Structure 1
Amino acid sequence: MEPIILYTQPDCPPCELTKLYFKDKGIVYIEKNVKKDKQAFQELTKKYKSYSTPTVIIGEKVITGFNLNEIENELSRHMS
């Protein structure tokens, strides 16, 4: 399975909820802070066409916001 990528920024409560969810479930992910990392911002906006955080990348699926149902659905598809 490809690594899960989480695009975040400081002072983003939904980003913190997403990180807590992943931690509670023992899910390994790569965090990319779009405020500190210009390359991460470019990836988020150009490659994934997203301008919001959190944005979660699971495989080819792009999930914007803390959309728990969508995150769980994609995780179950990729971990089975």
Structure 2
Amino acid sequence: MNTVTVYTTTRCPYCVMVKNFLVDQNIAFKEVNVETNPEIMHELVKQTGQMGVPQTKVNDKWVVGYDPNNIMMALKN
């Protein structure tokens, strides 16, 4: 069973693209809006070294930005 979490902000077009992609692929995911929870943003930066969103955690792998290929590869591993 895959666990997918998408870290987003409110007005991020690439976040919407990632969520739409996951919905289109029938992949269940949890969304965490880091804009409303700065503590999670700090944790994210600590884990990935990246300030931007979207960041998608697929199981234990991180995919930064809108990157459907890497999301699918992470799901297969």
TM range (shorter): 0.7 to 0.9
Number of the residue aligned with 1:34: 34
Q: What is the TM-score when the length of structure 2 is the normalising length?
A: 0.87
Q: Which runs of no fewer than 5 residues in structure 2 stay unpaired? A: none
Over the matched positions of the two proteins, sequence identity in percent amounts to 27
Contact kept? 1:45, 1:51, Cα under 8 Å: yes
List runs of 5+ in structure 1 lacking aligned partners. none
Which ranges of 4 or more aligned residues in structure 1 deviate by more than 3 Å?
A: none
In structure 2, C-alpha distance between the alignment counterparts of 1:59 and 1:49, rounded to whole Å: 18
Matched pairs, number:
77
- In the TM superposition, residue 47 of structure 1 has moved relative to its aligned partner by 2.3
String of CA shifts for 1:18-37, please: whole Å, max 9, x gaps.
00011111111111111001
Output the CA distance in 2 between the equivalents of 1:59 and 1:48: 14
